[in-house]
Chains A and B, each alone.
Chain A
Amino acid sequence: MAQSFKFNPLQIPDELTPLRMEVRSFLLDASSDWSGWDLGHSWTCFNREFSREVGKRGWIGMTWPEQYGGHDRSALERFVVIEEMLAAGAPVGAHWIGDRQSGPLLLRIGTEEQRQRILPMIVRGDAAFCVGLSEPGSGSDLASIRSHADKVDGGWRLNGRKIWTTYAHLSDFMMGLFRSDRSKERHAGLSQFLIDIHSSGIEVRPIADLTGEAHFNEVLFEDVFVPDNMLLGSEGNGWQQVTSELTFERSQPDRFMSCFPLLPLSIDALQNNEDRLACRQIGQSLSELVVLREMSLSILGQLEQGQTPSQEAALVKELGNSYEQRTPNMVRELFDTPAVMTRGDRFSELQAYLTQTVPSFSLRGGTREILRGIIAKGLGL
Chain B
Amino acid sequence: MSTELNIGELFAEQMDRVLSDSVSRELLISVENGQSADTLWNTLEELGFLLALVDEENGGSGLGWEDVEPTLRCCGRHGAPVPLPETLLANWVLAASGLALPTGLVTVSPALYQLDGNDKLHGGDSGVTWAPLCENIVAIAKRDANRYVCLLSQEQCQVEPQETLTREPTGALDLVGVTPSAIAEAPRTIGGLGLLPYLASLRSVQIGGALEELLSLCVEYANTREQFGRPIGKFQAIQHAIAELASQTAAAQVAGQYACRQIDADNAERGGMIAKIRAGQAAGRGAEIAHQVFGAIGFTDEHSLHYLTRRLWQWRCDAGSEFWWSERLGQKTIAAGADGLWPSIAGPTELRKTHALR
- A residues in contact (CB < 8 Å) with B: 1, 3-5, 7-9, 11-12, 14, 17, 20-21, 24-25, 27-28, 31, 34, 39, 80, 83-84, 87-89, 261, 263-265, 267-268, 270-271, 273, 276, 278-284, 286-295, 298, 312, 315, 318-319, 346, 369, 371-373, 375-376, 379-381
Contact = CB atoms under 8 A, between A and B. Distances in A.
Contact of B243 (A39, A292, A376): A376
Given A283-B327, A295-B251, A9 B261 contact: yes
Contacts of A291: 251, 254-255, 258, 274-275, 278
Interface string B219-238: 11011000000000110101
9 closest Cβ contacts across the A-B interface? Answer: A279-B330, A283-B326, A283-B329, A283-B330, A376-B239, A287-B277, A375-B243, A264-B338, A282-B330
B258 A290 contact: yes
Contact of B254 (A17, A88, A298, A346): A298
Given A31-B357, A84-B346, A267 B254 contact: no
A268 B327 CA distance: 17
Contacts of A375: 243, 246-247
A281 B239 contact: no
A88 B357 contact: yes
B346 A268 contact: no
Contacts of A279: 326-331, 334
Contacts of A380: 219, 223
A381 B257 contact: no
Contacts of A265: 338, 357-358
A376 to B, nearest CB: 4
Contact of B330 (A268, A281, A315, A369): A281
Counting chain A CB atoms within 10 Å of each CB, the highest count among B250, B274, B341, B354 belongs to: B250
Main secondary structure of the interface of B (DSSP, over half): helix
Contacts of A9: 66, 257-258, 261
Contacts of B126: none
Contact of A381 (B242, B250, B258, B337): B242
A315 B323 contact: no
Interface in B174-224: 212, 215-216, 219-220, 222-223
A380 B327 CA distance: 38
A305 B83 CA distance: 38
B104 interface: no
A278 B335 CA distance: 13
B330 A312 contact: no
Counting chain B CB atoms within 10 Å of each CB, the highest count among A20, A28, A268, A371 belongs to: A268
Contacts of B223: 380-381
A290 B345 contact: yes
B120 to A, nearest CB: 35
Contacts of B329: 279, 282-283, 286-287
B304 interface: no
